[in-house]
Amino acid sequence: MMRCKPVISSLAFASFLMGGAAPVAMASSSDDAQIRALRLEMAQMRKEMMGQITTLKSRLARTESVSHKQDHMSTASAHGGRAHREIASGPVDPSVQFNEPAPFANRIHLANAGTPTSDRGDVMSWKSFRAATKSDENVHVGGMIVGFPKGRFTVASEDGAYGLSIGLAFHEDFGGFFNSGPRGNEARGAFNSFTSNMRRLRIPFTFRYKNFVAAVTPDFGANHNDGYVGLYEGNLNYTGLHNTILTVGYFQPRVTEEDSESSNDFFTLERPSITDMVRNIAAGDARFSVGGLHYEKRWWIAGYFTGQEWGHRNASDMSSTYYGGGSGSTVDSQTGATLRVAGRPVATKNWDVHMGASGISAFRLACNSTDAYHCSRSTSFGQRPEFDIGEANLAATGGISNAAQVWAAGPELGVRWKRLIVKGEYYHVGVQRDAPGLKSAGFQGWYGSAAYTLFGNPRLYNEKEGAFGAPGVPEAQEFDPARNHWGALEVVGHYSVIDLNSRLNDANAKNVVRGGQQTVWTGGLNWYPNRHFRIMLDYSHFIVSRSMQATNIYGRTGNSVAARIQAGF
């Protein structure tokens, strides 16, 4: 009690001085306006001080009560058996506010997970969204929360019912080919010695009302050359069921392990050729889809009914419309479906084992009118040598006529041991044909990839994607040479094969498809200075047997060096 009285006395004395200051001021001034202003100011100061005195008295009274209780509970000290007591401060009264704000009170911190953000709309349940907005420091402005949950700028209502998130996926590629020239009278093809391409420039907008989420992502880096603008996704999602996302609209259906990953997480600049080929049968970017996915710690499943790609019936840009070209002659759009199932039988600190299978089918191809009574259903396959800066296809089938259905299926396998990940997939592709004398065509492909994190947090398993994520850089480990912090660095590589030859020895020339076999060896380094930026460097060597392409009459080999600067928010 003796400690409390001097504090109260000092505050009362200060209040008394403030109360008596006004007459002195009036006596020393002849300006009535100034006197009135001083009176108002002093009255306001006195009111604020008296409020603080009242609050502090209340806190001191509570402190004294706690002290008395501790007196009864105190034990004798080791020196002379004398008792001692501790005085604990009472709870902070929120009504007490001082003019000087606490340092860093409005500082916004990013999440400490350290992994890159997705290249697509981050669709999560209302419960997960509220947890994400609370887990990071944020600013409350006029009943709204402004922050960066998972590293993406977000404005939300206090309860998280309404939300708007804006992101970025920026991939700028540059590099070129060497020792890749044509043989004999082959066409040279677009194999630049040096060029650049805005591979992706996506701005994901995610609009939320509770468990309903609309994702709209324009892409200013669409197609394989600079200058095209498209739509990566535009869909509506419902997330009210446990670990489930139901989707309708233009979307990228999740099929194959590689395609389920965000492009911000890729090992190398491009997907292996076989997974890119398979996904475009009835999935791929901006595909109309109706379906959903469900995930748990140990398993993952997704299935979608699919239709046409965005822009596929756009007659104004017949050869260059988004992702493969449109056709103004389409009178009956394609329909198809995808299914992917994955399991995770081993999930420990040092080990992850991933097993799965994917299937995809275009069970009715698009019908393009040839006259008033007939239509043509055809398909084709072709892949660049895994460096997408507008170069020509060397392995390609050309048009396959009378194609009734196209399908693909195959297994996936991945293993993580501490900092090392090894994974691979195999797929068989079939084309059913419906004209007399024509036989089905069959193609295949596979890849094997490996990644080892030299420093930084290693790649871990992403349960929501049923795939492996990218290395992480927590905020405390971000690139800062002065503190000997260097982010994360990994070395990667893969071996990739596609075989686009079918029935080469068939007596009927219409059954022969010589698309060539393409093999690509790739090695590279990925450096992550922090979770939002990455620099990639890849070297590739490709070998392609002869095909029916003008650029590959005799078989062709070559090399490429490519780099990517990446930003993701």
Name every residue whose Cβ is closer than 8 Å to that of residue 202 and which is 6 or more positions away in sequence. Answer: 119, 120, 167, 168, 169, 217, 218, 219, 220, 221, 232
Across residues 363-375, what is the average pLDDT?
81
Instruction: Taking the CA atoms of 502, 503, 509 and 510 in sequence, report the sign of the dihedral they define.
Output: negative
Strand duo 467-468 + 488-502: pairing: unpaired
- Render pLDDT for 202-257 as a digit per residue (tens, 0 to 9): 999 999 999 999 999 999 988 778 888 889 999 999 999 999 999 999 999 999 99
Q: What does the DSSP 8-state code read for residue 457?
A: B
Check residues 242 and 44 and name the one with the higher pLDDT: 242
**Residue 281 CA, distance from chain mean position:** 24
What pTM was estimated for this model as a whole?
0.78
Name every residue whose Cβ is closer than 8 Å to that of residue 448 and which is 6 or more positions away in sequence. Answer: 422, 423, 424, 494, 495
- CA dist list (Å): 400 to 326, 405, 523: 18, 11, 34
Alpha-carbon gap, residue 419 to 454, rounded angstroms:
8
Mean pLDDT computed over every residue of the chain: 84
At 392, is the secondary structure helix, strand, or coil? coil
Alpha-carbon gap, residue 422 to 424, rounded angstroms:
7
> Which homologous superfamily is 110-568 in?
Porin (2.40.160.10)
- Using CB atoms within 10 Å of the CB of residue 466, give its burial: 0 to 12 exposed, 13 to 18 middle, 19+ buried: buried
Q: What pLDDT score does 328 carry?
A: 75
Alpha-carbon gap, residue 321 to 425, rounded angstroms:
30
User: Would you place residue 76 in the very low, low, confident or very high pLDDT band (cuts 50, 70, 90)?
Assistant: very low
Give residue 312's identity as a one-letter amino acid code.
H
Q: Which of 38-42, 355-359, 428-432 has the lowest mean pLDDT?
A: 38-42
Q: What does the DSSP 8-state code read for residue 517?
A: E
Across residues 44-71, what is the average pLDDT?
59
Alpha-carbon gap, residue 452 to 454, rounded angstroms:
6
At 73, is the secondary structure helix, strand, or coil? helix
Looking at the predicted structure, is the pLDDT value of residue 78 above 50? Answer: no
Q: What pLDDT score does 63 carry?
A: 55
Looking at the predicted structure, is the pLDDT value of residue 106 above 50? Answer: no
Alpha-carbon gap, residue 89 to 67, rounded angstroms:
10
Task: Enumerate long-range contacts of 225-230, CB under 8 Å, 24 or more apart.
Answer: 225/197, 225/390, 226/196, 226/197, 226/198, 228/320, 228/322, 230/286, 230/310, 230/311, 230/322, 230/323
